[in-house]
Structure 1
Amino acid sequence: MEPKEIAELIKDRYPAEVKEITEFRGQTSVVVKKDRIKEIMKYLHSTPELYFDYLKDLCGVDYANKKDNRFEVVYHLYSMRHRHMIRIKAEVDEDDCNIDSVTDIWAGANWHERECYDMYGIAFNGHPDLRRILMPEDWEGHPLRKDYPLKADLGEMEWKGYKEVIETAEKNKQYEVR
């Protein structure tokens, strides 16, 4: 089945949830509201003619000052049986920065959702172990947000563990072989 046909099936089944269908360079994206994302994903996974059994990727996007809803969670789905693909984009508002987890549909979503949480601060409701995966537990902020400071010398905002790493590196310079 062609991606455009799949997008139309989603729109027919969830007309109030589908905000937009776009196509660019042969790839189709369906932009949906986040409220029923789990239901939409279960439909895509469980419907025999669709059978999206593989979550290729899940990532976050920050559209700071460019869209009404600042964030999107993007799902790339693939059906190994039917060899078709679709991209689903769920809009997430900055003031209500959470969305339902899909880990009970695709176990592989676990790490992807944790990374999205860690880097963007988007919480996944019902996730079995939502905690940082790339940054240390005591890290403050979310590094892939557009408003995250890029300056290296953050003063008091600097991660406390960074100072320890620098001090240890300085102390261990005596052991370097030249």
Structure 2
Amino acid sequence: MWKVGIITASDTAARGEREDESARVLHELVREHLKCDVVVYRILPDDIETLKEHMIELIDREHVDLLLTTGGTGLSPRDVTPEATLAVIDREIPGFAEEMRRACMAHSRRAMLTRAVAGTRGNALVINFPGSPSGVRECFAAIVDQIPHALAILQGKEAEYAGQPVE
């Protein structure tokens, strides 16, 4: 199936000062709903250059099909994941981020403050998720049904996945 990579952007997790619960949740959701395993996982500090470098490495050299990030999408000056993502992707897919925000607004009005983005680099899909486990769950649930279709289109395999349900 697809090769999936996860990057956590968090100064405190990168320093080992907190557990990375959001990435753990993403691992579980990917395994359960997309029937894939995460092949590359990294915890990085909130640094735009570091994030860009690792995103490019995972897509261009490790050849992940799906790169999911968690953390760094808020309003703090250190939250730079969207900027790093925008510098790395070729094309933005606003519908993913819009749907995640819309769905999460039912749970918390603060969801409107997230700056998460999604897009493509080559035939890989990149999606930013918030840094909270509950935010990851809610956002993933909002878009998981479209991830296989998006990847199939990007990789020229649309006919193979057309009409297949996602659990």
The TM-score, its normalising length taken from structure 1, stands at 0.32
Higher share of residues assigned strand: 1
Q: Which has the larger radius of gyration?
A: 1
Which one has more relative contact order, counting CA pairs under 8 Å at least 6 apart?
2
Higher share of residues assigned helix: 2
